[in-house]
Amino acid sequence: MKTARYIVLVVLVASLALGAVGYWLKAGRTVAGLREELARAKASQQSLLEGKLKSTRTGDVRVQGKIEAAEAVAVSPQVEAPIEAVRVVEGDIVEAGQVLVNLDATGLRADLENCTGAMNRAARRLADIERLYPQRDALYREAVEDVELTYRNTVAAFRKALADSERDVARYEVEVAADRLEVERMRALGADALISKADLEQAELELRRTELEAEAAKGHHDDLRRRVPVDDGKQEYIRLREAELFRQQALRQAEEDRITDEDLAQARAALDESRLMVALAEKHVAAAEVKAPIRGIVTAANDSPRLTSVVGTNQLSTGRSLSFEELREVGKRVGPQDILFVIEGLDTVVVKVDVDEMDINRIAAGNAARITGVGFSNTTLRGEVAAISPKATYVAEGITTFETTVKVLEELGPARLGMSAEVDIVVGEKQ
> Helix 136-191 crosses helix 238-257 at what angle (to 10 degrees)?
160
Dist CA 93 CA 72 (whole Å): 13
Give alpha helix (H) positions in 136-196: 136-191
Q: CA 226, 229, 233: angle at the middle one, nearest 5?
A: 135
Strands 320-321 and 338-339: parallel
Confirm if 320 and 102 have CB atoms less than 8 A apart.
Answer: no
Q: Tell me whether strands 99-103 and 367-372 are parallel, antiparallel or unpaired.
A: unpaired
For residue 53, the model assigns a pLDDT of: 44
Same fold, 60-70+348-431 and 105-281: no
In degrees to the nearest 10, what's the CA dihedral of 352, 353, 358, 362? -50
Q: pLDDT per position in the chain (431 positions), as tens?
A: 434 444 444 444 445 444 544 443 444 444 444 455 555 545 444 543 444 444 345 589 999 999 999 999 999 999 999 999 999 999 999 999 999 999 999 999 999 999 999 999 999 999 999 999 999 999 999 999 999 999 999 999 999 999 999 999 999 999 999 999 999 998 988 888 888 889 989 999 999 999 999 999 999 999 998 987 877 767 888 999 999 999 999 999 999 999 999 999 999 999 999 999 999 999 999 999 999 999 999 998 876 555 555 555 443 434 688 888 888 887 999 999 999 999 999 999 999 999 999 999 999 999 999 999 999 989 999 999 999 999 998 888 889 999 999 999 999 999 999 999 999 999 976 76
CB atoms within 10 A of CB 76: 24
Candidates 3.40.50, 3.30.200, 1.10.20, 1.10.287; CATH matching 105-281: 1.10.287
> Residue 397 has what pLDDT?
82
Q: Find out if CATH 2.40.30.170 is the number for domain 60-70+348-431.
A: yes
Classify residue 294 by its DSSP letter. S
Domain range summary for the chain, segments of one domain joined by +: 1-55, 60-70+348-431, 72-104+288-345, 105-281
Read off the pTM: 0.62
Helices and strands of the chain, counted as H and E runs: 8, 20
Q: Give the per-residue pLDDT at 375.
A: 93
Residues in the chain, total: 431
Q: What is the topology classification, in CATH, of domain 72-104+288-345?
A: OB fold (Dihydrolipoamide Acetyltransferase, E2P) (2.40.50)
What is the predicted pLDDT for the residue at 52?
A: 42
